[in-house]
Structure 1
Amino acid sequence: MVLPVPETSHPPDVPVDRDVTRPAPPVRPLGLARIWRLIGDPAPGRMGYALRMAAGCTTTVLVGEIWQVPDLGVPALVTMALWQKDRVTNALAGVAVNIVVVLLLLLIYGLIQLTLDHPMELVIVIAILSFGFFFLGSASKLKPVAYLFGLITVFGLVVIDQVPVGEVITRAILYTDLFLAVPGAVMIVLGLLICPSPRRLLTDDIAARLRMACRLLRGADDRTREQATDMLRTGTTDMMKSAKMASLEKIWAARDLACLRQSASSSVAVLALADEAGRTGIPAEDAAHLLETLEKMAAIFTDGDYPAAIERPAVSPASPAASALADMLPDFATPPPEGAAPGLKEKKSGFFADDAFSNPEHVRFAVKGTAGVMLSYLAFMVLDWPGIHTCIITCFIVALPTMGEMVSKLTLRISGALVGGAIGIGSIIFVMPHLDGITGFLVLIFAVSLLAAWVKTGDERIAYAGFQIGLAFYLSDLKGFGPTSDMETARDRIIGIMLGNFITYAMFTSFWPTSARDRIGEGLRKLAETLQRQSQALTPQARAEAIASTQSTLLESERTLEYVMAEPINTRVDLPRLQETKQALDDAGRLSEDLLVNPDRTDLTDHTARLARLAG
């Protein structure tokens, strides 16, 4: 399809801002205002994803009620944790869960034979299992699934220890099977019915970036620029995953998927150029030509297709940013020719990380996680308070590798648990007494699941809060079958969640505390390398792939810096250096955009040398 070049449409001039070296804002942890904006951010596709996740959790509860699965909160949590955006990934996750459940059943069956009526052996087994799953979560590709498997296995052993001896093995096999088999079956069956194709997700994501580029060209406020930066920093990671899943469906032509992969990279480059044009300013007539073309392209991708041919918009050569953006469009969906030099390819890795058995941090992480689980188990047993067994579950859910991640997300965890717990207790008091049947109960489950899913499907920096909302609510209100009026259970389980949060935080910040500051250097060195490669890209396709890689690397460094600033004040020993690092990252973000306009920047070496110096 040939897109005509517009001749009319004259939006207002874009404000000129040529000061690309303005001071960076102060370095500070993620604030409440920013968190609130992330919670309310109507990102493209977020509502649909949340609705489908809530439907999956509600269906799991319905099936569990029919089969009378005890502690139904656990299967509901597994569904929320594993639910994916597209039908292929959902089905694969569901199949994997149903395969793994067989292995877990065999494991638990053997462990029951070993530990039955032997409390000391049970303690030893729980410790060994916890260490193993935490180690896999830190040093292998199983993260974060390893934590879920650990949660299910350890929780199953703890609960089994509380039931009558004569029914132990039967209940172990049945309940552990249902804890994972029900979510797995729901993800396969319901996911195939209500989740979109990964190809459709891919085209929607490309369209969203094109429309964001249009907003920037029209002149954007600070909020829009913030949203555009967040979208830009994600690079093509999610889009390339969608393309890979689409290839597994075997119903799409390989050529079409290759064109969509190239379109994904090109959409990031177009968004970066639109941001550059918005900062430096372009003539109104050039903006009009670009806007008309980009809007038509976005409409085509929204329909699930891609443009077969795009004419270069007529823009003034006097505007470098507009010219670079116009030059990018003719090859927007054209993949590199066969036999062309390969782009930036990530090195394939094995199941374990390269330093899995040489880096002591993995073992230390497993030891701290295991200590948290065992302290929770000790409190659970010594207090003889069965209702707080959620403290053990919480230890698997909230463990994170660095102090910065622990501290920055502690508020989200506690806030989510309090919100979910308050909703759970409030529903027991004000809603449950008025529910006469399963329909009203499921409506309540869906409504609260939707709230939790909305938060969980947002930015990674708030997703924990959404999961904690679901955790507290499910474990409070899903004790038996149907609506509950047991306030004591809700109270105990919320106390268990808060106790697990406290124990995990204490363990990870008191013993072998790992600072996020130790990871800054690696990120800065990687960023310097990606900038160098970007400057050496010769074709439009290579430049698009390179800018996507640079933006993803930049995101990693910015997140690490946020985590550093969230750590206790005594770990921030060099605030001026951190401030300089923040400035260098901001400059690198603007430089990566400008390299699309002027790849021969003479000061590139100075920028990369600065990053190398800060890396140490």
Structure 2
Amino acid sequence: MARIWRLVCDPVPGRLGYALRMAAACTTTVLIGEIWQVPELAVPALVTMALWQKDRVTNALAGVAVNVLILILLLIIYALIRLTLDHPMGLVIVIALLSFSFFFLGSASKLKPVAYMLGLITVYGLIAIDQVPVGEVVTRALLYTDLFLAVPGAVMIVLGLLICPSPKKILTDSIAARLYMAVRLLQTLDALTQERATDMLREGTAGMMKSAKMASLEKIWSVHDLACLRQAANSSVAVLALADEASRARPPQEQLSRLTETLEGMARIFSEGDYPTAIESPVIASEHPSLQAITALLPNFTTPPALVAGKSPEKKKSGFFSEDAFTNPDHVRFAVKGTAAVMLSYLIFKVLDWPGIHTCIITCFIVALPTMGEMISKLTLRITGALIGGTLGIASIIAVMPHLNGITGFLALVFVVSLTGAWVKTGDERIAYAGFQIGLAFYLTDLKGYGPTADMATARDRIVGIMLGNLITYAMFTSFWPASAYDHLGGSLRKLNDCLRRQGTAQSSEDQLQSAALSQSALLESERTLEYAMSEPAHMRADQPRLQAARNALIDASRLTEELLATPKRPDLADRTARLEQIAS
């Protein structure tokens, strides 16, 4: 619990701005929905919170993609309505087929980030047909489905371009944050700083390289500048890793003063949106290999490697579906379990004739996870987030709504609660899930009708639906073909081992820096897989000593990737990677 609370409160650079912009976008979506009187306004608000991005370019691209997808969805829903109108059994079959298709796409294709959201909206649009008069059912269903995605898409494009920073600014701020963290490690080593530095290291350069790619799409930054920033991103991860290694030796501060001053000066330039050139390496008294490696990195910190004709590595192009999409039975099993959860929720919803608990169906699409370890690990986050969001929703109905006389106060309430959920969602991935659940429960509780609501029955019903959906999904995914995270551990460790070997045999400094960043990302994947495996029930942890051996191997691998930056040609590399390979197999 102490660890979770530290993650909740962690002031990661850029987190507050990201959360404020996300809350503003959700509030804007609610405002537009109130003006246009969009029914079930909780759905567009949830879509906005789920898809909102850090920078203006990614937001615009996501918004355009959403608005293109809505055209396809409209055609699908129109055809399905014509087929299933006045045919209850046909509607059941269509819902089952759609659920299976979207769960399969979410597991086996590149549509994973949005497949569940598209499935939620399509299936919910079909289920909501009974709630409108038959004579205008097609028109209303198409209009409402259009607004469910068109409003968030428009908000992401327009508002995102107005209030979100450039991806280049996101990139330079990320580099500055790593340099500042390296300085903190060298100046004061404590458990909290070490913990935050490790979390930052494990991110590797994936996020920064994505920002560089998005910045190149803006066509307002020179190719050379972006190449320099890509090099700086790789270098910043290496400097942070070396500082982490050097901090364990606790060198005297008087030996590091010039080095920390140089790093702070570089960080200030990056935080202003620029990058330093012609960096002079400070002379330090310490002979520690990691400190010497940091000083050796500085002169070429932002100098991109020369492009040699014919030497550029060709990236393997991946298709829409994953390589094992039609050969790995886990994808089909995942889709079957997700469909079963949706259909059981739909059956209970219809048998009880309790329209207010339709949120159980929505919840099934949102909370499905592939392995039992992830289900168990995130179950607490789900329930905690839903209880917090539901409590805030009910408390606002009791204490706040009666005193609201206009739209301003209502929007202020939506913004404050959205900010709470967005703050948690923009934090570490181990708690981000709870932030979305806070928004889910609050929106489904309070966004009923138009303007402030005093309907406690609706709040009660929707929270019951959320909890029921959580329970059904958990039961389905842990009872039938329970997939263990332990089965994925070997693959994660082998991937890590390949990265370490590549780093140890790198022929150039550029390859070494890139390999070190990839090793950090592989470490993150392996550590998360191990955490999920160790959280599973005892009967699934059939090889507990092996799990402990994997934990020890990851600790050693974490040290090795830092040591390889300081002393690349290590004689013990073969033995240490061989031990890791043995555990992985």
TM-score range, shorter chain: over 0.9
Given that 1:282 and 1:321 are in contact with CA atoms closer than 8 Å, whether structure 2 keeps it comes out as: no
> Residue type of the partner of 2:197?
A
Q: Is the 8 A contact 2:212 2:230 kept in 1?
A: yes
Secondary structure at the aligned position of 1:330 is classed as helix
Structure 1: any 5+ residue segments left out of the alignment? 1-31
Moved more, 362-371 or 272-281: 272-281
TM-score, normalising length from structure 1?
0.94
Distance 1:535 1:53 in 2: 42
Match of 2:301 among 326, 332, 342: 332
Paired residue type of 1:245: M
**TM-score w.r.t. structure 2 length?**
0.99
Q: What CA distance in whole angstroms lies between the structure 2 residues aligned with 1:162 and 1:493?
A: 16
Q: Deviation per CA, 1:274-300: give whole Å up to 9, x if none.
A: 001101233434311210110000000
Secondary structure of the residue aligned to 1:161 is helix
Instruction: Sort the Cα spacing of 1:346 and 1:451 in 2 relative to 1 into closer, same or farther, 3 A.
Output: farther
C-alpha deviation, 1:343, in angstroms: 8.2
Task: Give, as a single letter, the amino acid of the residue that structure 1 aligns with 2:76.
Answer: L
What is residue 367 of structure 1 aligned with on the other side? 336
Change (3 A) 1:372 1:112: same
Number of the residue aligned with 1:91: 60
| Structure 1 partner of 2:487 | 518
Cα deviation for residue 71 of structure 1 reads 0.6
Matched, 1:542 2:511: yes
Distance across 2 between alignment mates of 1:343 and 1:266? 20
Asked if the contact 2:34/2:450 (under 8 Å) is kept, the reply is yes
Is the 8 Å Cα contact of residues 491 and 584 (structure 2) preserved in structure 1? yes
Aligned partner of 1:246 in structure 2 is 215
- Does the C-alpha gap of structure 1 residues 155 and 436 become closer, same or farther in structure 2, counting only changes over 3 Å? same
Note the C-alpha offset of 1:162.
2.5
- Following TM superposition, by how much is the alpha carbon of 1:541 offset from its aligned partner in structure 2, in angstroms? 2.3
Per-residue CA deviations over 1:234-261 (Å, capped at 9, x if unaligned) read: 0001000000000000000000000001
Structure 1 match to 2:428: 459
Q: Secondary structure at the match of 1:461?
A: helix
Contact 1:236 1:264 in 2 (8 A): yes
Q: Are residue 221 (structure 1) and residue 190 (structure 2) matched?
A: yes
Query: What percentage of residue pairs aligned between the two structures are identical?
Result: 72
Trace 1:123-522 onto structure 2 (pairs within 5 A). 123-316=92-285, 318-339=287-308, 347-522=316-491
Q: Find the aligned partners of 1:82 and 1:133 in 2 and give their Cα distance.
A: 17
Preserved contact between residue 432 and residue 485 of structure 1 (Cα < 8 Å): yes
Is 2:345–2:360's contact at 8 Å kept on the other side of the alignment? Answer: yes
Shift, 1:340, TM fit: 7.5
| Among 2, 5, 11, the residue aligned to 1:42 | 11
User: Which amino acid letter does the alignment assign opposite residue 562 of structure 1?
Assistant: E
Partner of residue 528, structure 2: 559
Tell me, yes or no, if the aligned pair for 1:316 and 1:322 is still in contact at 8 Å: no
Cα distance in 1 for residues equivalent to 2:83 and 2:46 = 29
- State the distance in 1 between where 2:425 and 2:317 align: 29
In 2, the alpha carbon distance for the partners of 1:593 and 1:606 equals 17
Deviations 1:541-579 (A, max 9, x none): 222211101000010000000000111121112221111
Q: What corresponds to 1:532 in structure 2?
A: 501
Residues 544 and 342 from structure 1, CA distance in 2 versus in 1: closer, same or farther, beyond 3 angstroms? farther
Q: CA RMSD in A?
A: 1.2
Q: Equivalents in 2 of 1:552, 1:343: separation in Å?
A: 23
- Structure 1 residue aligned with 2:564: 595
- AA aligned opposite 2:473: T
Given that 2:251 and 2:286 are in contact with CA atoms closer than 8 Å, whether structure 1 keeps it comes out as no
1:206 deviates by 0.2
Q: Distance in 2 between matches of 1:580 and 1:344?
A: 36
SS at match of 1:329: helix
- Residue 144 of structure 1 aligns to a residue whose secondary structure is helix
Say yes or no: does 1:54 pair with 2:26: no
Question: Residue 438 of structure 2 aligns to which amino acid in structure 1?
Answer: I
Measured against aligned partners, the alpha-carbon deviations of 1:35-81 in whole angstroms (never above 9, x if no partner) come to 11111111010000000000000000000000000110000000000
Q: Give the distance between the partners of 1:549 and 1:282, measured in 2 at CA.
A: 28
Q: Distance in 2 between matches of 1:282 and 1:263?
A: 26
> What is the CA-CA distance between 1:347 and the residue it aligns to?
3.3
Instruction: Give the total of aligned pairs.
Output: 585
> Would the aligned equivalents of 2:182 and 2:244 in 1 still touch at CA under 8 Å?
yes
Shift of 1:386: 0.3
Q: Deviations over 1:167-204 (max 9, x none)?
A: 20110111001000000011111000000000000000
Q: How does 1:112-131 map to 2 (within 5 A)?
A: 112-131=81-100
Structure 1 or 2: more helix by fraction: 2
SS of aligned partner of 2:12: coil
| SS of aligned partner of 2:118 | helix
What does residue 79 of structure 1 align with? 48
**1:398 counterpart letter in structure 2:** V
State how far apart, in whole Å, the 1-side matches of 2:364 and 2:216 are.
Answer: 37
Amino acid corresponding to residue 571 of structure 2 in structure 1: T
1:357 Cα deviation after fit: 0.4
1:406 and 1:437 mapped to 2: Cα distance?
42
Amino acid at match of 1:582: R
After TM superposition, the structure 1 stretch with the greater mean CA deviation from structure 2, 220-229 or 154-163, is 154-163
Letter in 1 for 2:552: Q
Give me the whole-angstrom Cα distance separating, in 2, the residues matched to 1:270 and 1:541: 14
Distance 1:74 1:193 in 2: 24
**Aligned pairs for 1:579-590 within 5 A:** 579-590=548-559
Q: Using the TM superposition, give the Cα deviation of residue 345 of structure 1 relative to its aligned residue in structure 2, in angstroms.
A: 7.3
Higher relative contact order, chain-length normalized (CA < 8 Å, sep 6+): 1
Distance change in 2, residues 1:127/1:521 (3 Å): same
CA contact (8 A) 2:512 2:565 kept: yes
Q: Which runs of 5+ in 2 are unaligned?
A: none
Give the deviation of 1:344 after TM superposition: 8.1
State the Cα distance separating 1:467 from its structure 2 match. Answer: 0.4
| Pair 1:344–1:472, CA change in 2 (3 A) | farther
Shift of 1:537: 1.9
Structure 1 CA distance for aligned equivalents of residues 309 and 260 of structure 2: 31
User: Any idea what SS the aligned residue of 1:571 has?
Assistant: coil
